[in-house]
Amino acid sequence: MRNIIIALLSSCTLFAASAFSDEVAPVKQDAPDRYVVVKGDTLWGISGKFLKQPWRWPEIWKLNKEEIKNPHWIYPGDVVVLDRATGSLRLIKNEKYQGRNFVKLSPQIRVEPDRHEAIPVISPADIGPFLSQPLVIEKDGLENAPQIIANEENRVVIGAGSRAYVEGLKPNGPKQWHIFQPGKALIDPDTKKILGYEAVYLGDARVIKFGDPSTIEIIKAVQEILRGDRLVAATDVELANFVPHAPERDVHARIISTYGGVAEAGRNSIVVLNRGAKDGLDPGTVLALMRAGETATYQAEDKTRSVKLPEERYGLALVFRTFDHVSYALVMQSTLSVHIDDAAEKP
């Protein structure tokens, strides 16, 4: 396939490509001729309207994770046009964004307009809270963190709007905090080794008065908050815009946990994998979700026979945060319910 040419024209950005083949994400037969980008869209969702494999849009438009870390270049009002004769996609820029600081770099384009208006790769609401939280800790990793020791009116459960008292806050330290409790061990199903421990997010708090103890107000509670729960300082984390890509080498991961501890998960669910940065995963890695084939029995020639059914691919997951040996991924597509112990492999 010839190289895709990306050129910035005076009135539009043109993405010209030779006809798509099976080796490259092909265009869907029912793809629209044009689509007007609206607020709330994602690059993955827009690409899914045109491509059978929407996660491969960086290949179609010749973007890669090294060239463009934050591909903020599509905005509400822009129009994506499909030229069916040549199998090319053209992006017509909204006049609102004309005259901005565009810089032409062949064969790529870097755009620096208002990042808050650009279309993200995936919805910030799906993963935003997971980027600033510890999620995985070492054994006893919260032991030295500030601790809730009491609350007003001596209630057992502390909810949003309540005040509580914390031991271990340093004067003039951070005022915004997350509240956690130690969770279950994350065990590798293959080696049986403990990879870490989940840090269970309970809510948010802010400091009203520093002291010994300090006074905090619970401003958000997603689970019950109790005396003894621990605080971790909140940090401002900019939502990363990932460039989807396949792992550079074969990966054989398994789902070891689902967020919220549910037995079955589905699209837009968060899953935990038993592979991490040291196994070649990084934010943006796309993995295929696989279900092991069951053993089926049947009658043949008056005998009961059994056969192992083949492994079945049923979805895709996008890795958005990695630790050394553990990763968190968002289920992007799924035709079946997602189960613990399902496999995640190179697509």
Of residues 8, 70, 18, 74, the one with CA closest to residue 46: 74
Find the angle CA(154)-CA(156)-CA(162) to the nearest 5 degrees: 65
The strand ranges marked E within 226-266 are: 230-233, 252-258, 264-265
Structure tokens at 7: 């050129």
Question: CA 68 to CA 118: how far, in whole Å?
Answer: 14
The answer to whether 146 and 230 are in contact (CB under 8 A) is: yes
Instruction: For residue 77, give the DSSP letter.
Output: T
Kindly state the greatest CA–CA separation across the chain.
Answer: 82
Structure tokens at 336: 């079946």
**Three-state secondary structure call for residue 330:** strand
Q: φ and ψ at 182, to 5 degrees? A: -60, 140
Structure tokens at 190: 């293959």
The answer to whether 117 and 133 are in contact (CB under 8 A) is: no
Question: CA 161 to CA 68: how far, in whole Å?
Answer: 43
Question: CA 324 to CA 141: how far, in whole Å?
Answer: 16
Look-up: residue for tokens 């630790």?
A: 323
Structure tokens at 321: 């945060």
- In the chain, residues under CATH classification 2.40.30 are 252-345
Return the bridge partners of 43, or none. Answer: none
Question: CA 83 to CA 224: how far, in whole Å?
Answer: 54
The answer to whether 150 and 165 are in contact (CB under 8 A) is: yes
Question: CA 99 to CA 207: how far, in whole Å?
Answer: 45
Which stretches of the chain score pLDDT less than 70? Answer: 1-25, 59-73, 86-89, 95-116, 125, 128-129, 132-134, 236-241, 260-263
Find the angle CA(67)-CA(72)-CA(73) to the nearest 5 degrees: 95
Select the CATH number that applies to the domain covering 252-345 from these four: 2.40.30, 3.30.2310, 3.30.420, 1.10.357. 2.40.30
Provide the H-helix boundaries in the chain: 43-50, 57-60, 124-131
